[in-house]
Copies of this chain bind each other. A is one copy, B any other.
Amino acid sequence: MTQPKMGVRGILVERAGHRILFVEELDVSPGEVLAVVGPNGAGKSTLIHVLALLERPSEGEVLFDGRPVRGDLLPYRRRMAVVFQEPLLLDATVESNVGSGLSLRGVPRAERAHRVRRWLERFGIAALARRSAHTLSGGEAQRVSLARALVLEPEVLLLDEPFAALDEPTRQALIDDLDRALAETGTTVVFVSHDRAEALRLGDRVAVIIGGRIRQVGPPSQVFAAPADEEVAAFLGVETIVPGRISAVEEGLAVVEVSSCRVEAASALEGPSAGEVLVCLRPEDVVLSPAEDRPAATSARNRLPSVVRRVVRSGAQVRVELDAGFPLVALITKQSLEELSLEAGSRVVASFKATAVHLIPRHARPQSPSG
């Protein structure tokens, strides 16, 4: 592995006597996009502040290009750009807001104007260039804030919920755009998001912060598929989390008794191979078929006859809450809903692959993060 671009070691941030952030170790490789997710108040913004060298932790140090950051912070800060959670615009025009970082760096007027214009256009706010920043709508302000950071074309980009106020088409287009641009320029990015989809889409790795600690870091698929503990699982939207007991382990498959049912799980469980566990299942991994269907030749090892409790539209998809002996949630398409003509009380078979089941040892303790 190449030398990390940025990192923190033993960071501790306290406010009014509370530890609000405590990170043993976290590294971001050059060109990597690290998505930071976590519930409100977890300490995500605080982490961004620490990385941006704007908040001096009471303990620990920040590494830049492998060396601890010491002395004058300005040269470091000039190699980064930060988008804050609130767009704090200067009381000036949109144009001069976006150009402010460049003019602080002494970029000549002509080049500045050129770069500013390019980024204003990219964010669809070229028409607002001469407007006073304080008259902008919420989303317009956030675009300006983003453009102001990106125009700097920094080595490290720190984004704190940069897309929260953007409308959905813009957000999608921007994420696409950004994804490409970041890959091209090799920018190292740490970005905070509430939107799990966003994190999955952009992040090379995902870090989950809960209660001021990094609970898990890893590639998105791994983190989503195998949450480190109950809280991480709950936060990541693994909506079915039920307690069970491992009764046997056969051919690499664990057999878990959940209520009156048996669930087979391919989840690699560390520690004791038998005992109390939490069974986690992501709703989109659950497939529903008519109750009378003959079992088809599928790779789904678990087939549970269930009763529909509730059907809730959720965006373009439909969330079906089931009773399979234990509460179970499935996410299906509108088509499936129509074809299966589901409604509360319908009987269906819920099937899911053993590989889709993730087991967490009961009362799992938060782990130290692994960089």
Contacts and interface: CB of A to CB of B under 8 A. Distances in A.
Interface in A161-182: 161, 164-171, 176
Interface in A56-97: 85-86
Interface string A323-336: 00000000101110
Contacts of A335: 285, 287
Nearest to A287: B335
Nearest to A234: B169
B138 A315 contact: no
Contacts of A368: none
A85, A200, A287, A316: which has the most chain B beta carbons within 10 Å? Answer: A316
Contacts of A41: 136-137, 139-140
A118 interface: no
A244 interface: no
Secondary structure class of chain A's binding surface, majority of residues: mixed
Copies of this chain in the oligomer: 2
A138 B312 contact: no
Contact of A40 (B167, B194, B195, B282): B167
Contact count band on A? 35 or more
B237 A169 contact: yes
Contacts of A301: none
B164 A237 contact: no
Contacts of A85: 138, 165
A165 B84 CA distance: 13
B170 A165 contact: no
Contact of A168 (B166, B170, B196): B196
A237 B39 contact: no
A117 interface: no
A237 B172 CA distance: 10
Interface in A286-327: 287, 312-317
A153 interface: no
The interface centre, meaning the residue of A138, A165, A166, A333 with most chain B CB atoms within 10 A of its CB, is A138
A334 B317 CA distance: 14
A331 B331 CA distance: 14
Given A135-B16, A138-B161, A161-B165, A170 B40 contact: yes
Closest 8 CB pairs of A and B: A40-B139, A197-B315, A284-B316, A39-B167, A85-B138, A41-B137, A164-B164, A167-B194
Given A16-B135, A168-B237, A169-B234, 11 more contacts: A40-B138, A40-B140, A40-B166, A41-B137, A85-B165, A138-B161, A171-B194, A176-B312, A201-B315, A284-B333, A287-B335
